[in-house]
Chain A
Amino acid sequence: MADGCAIVTGAARGIGAASATALAADGWPVVVNYRSDRDAAERVVAEIEDAGGKAIAHGADISDPSGIEELFARAEEELGTVLVLVNNAGVRADALSPQIGDEEWSKVIDTNLSAAFHATRRALRPMLRARFGRIVNVASIVGLRANAGQANYAASKAGLIGMTRTIAVEVARRGITVNAVAPGLVETKLAEGVGNGLAEAIPARRPGTPEEVAACIRFLCSEDASYVTGTVLTVDGGLSA
């Protein structure tokens, strides 16, 4: 285990919370980033501490670049060099394309894609110096195949996948891996209302759980995944198979 810490964005609930918990169980001190739900983030920290791990909650709107800088500064000051970054924070603003306004477009791209880039850029230099790093971007199968009503979300997630592959090849020779997971329908607050009638179409006949996605993220962040980079791991119960 390298000497440093992990940041998980959007970690107050869902896939982010499960990932923070899983990384802490692997021994990483974790920064649980949240935007607005401080109580939920504190509960994640308490759960990690109860299990013998180390974590701090940090509120920051990461769609604002200054929020990213504060997040990393706090992490470095309290927990050490950031060697693991999980870009999980994401929002949805679904509508058919003619009805997506500029604000719904920008908000989704800014949070899901641009913030992940800003955080990755900030993380890379110290990782290059450390000759070690693990970055996992939480994309979506919507970034790989169509789902009507999510043009903005799909564009952000497809962008995340292109960014993942490109940065992976740029830094591979320094022991830094960059991968994406592409969850299908997962039981989270973000996915509320998306899955109506969809479970029938999933070969596994059920939605996934945040823990099932977090288990994949945990693997991609581990020493065992040292030769896995630039890949997109679908976690969708066979939906896109």
Chain B
Amino acid sequence: MPTAVTPEAVEKVIFAGVEEIGAEGEITRDAAFEDLDLDSLDLVELAQIVEDEFGVELDGDAVKDVKTIGDVIDLVVARA
């Protein structure tokens, strides 16, 4: 069963996911992917983590304008 989507739950999963993927630096809502040394493939992987956890699909079109960790959290919450 997918985890219920609340902003707090999404933030927790994404922070943990970003760390697991190998982010460099402090992980905050305002941190940009680029500054965390995360690339487009990392974003694909994060989308997979989100899908596994919440059952929310993030396709290529959805994530193409994503810049910060907060952007992804908001996107997942909005799409749930």
Query: Which residues on A are within 8 Å of B, measured CB to CB?
Result: 125-126, 128-129, 170-171, 173-174
Contact = CB atoms under 8 A, between A and B. Distances in A.
Contacts of B41: 128, 170-171, 173-174
Contacts of B68: none
Contacts of A128: 41, 44-45, 48
Interface of B: 41, 44-45, 48-49
Nearest to B47: A125
A125 B48 CA distance: 6
A171 B41 CA distance: 8
Interface centre among A125, A126, A170 (most CB of B within 10 A): A125
A171 B39 CA distance: 12
Contacts of B45: 125, 128-129
8 A-B pairs with the lowest CB-CB distances in the bound complex, closest first? A125-B48, A128-B45, A129-B48, A129-B45, A128-B44, A174-B41, A128-B48, A128-B41
Nearest to A174: B41
A170 to B, nearest CB: 7
A239 B45 CA distance: 42
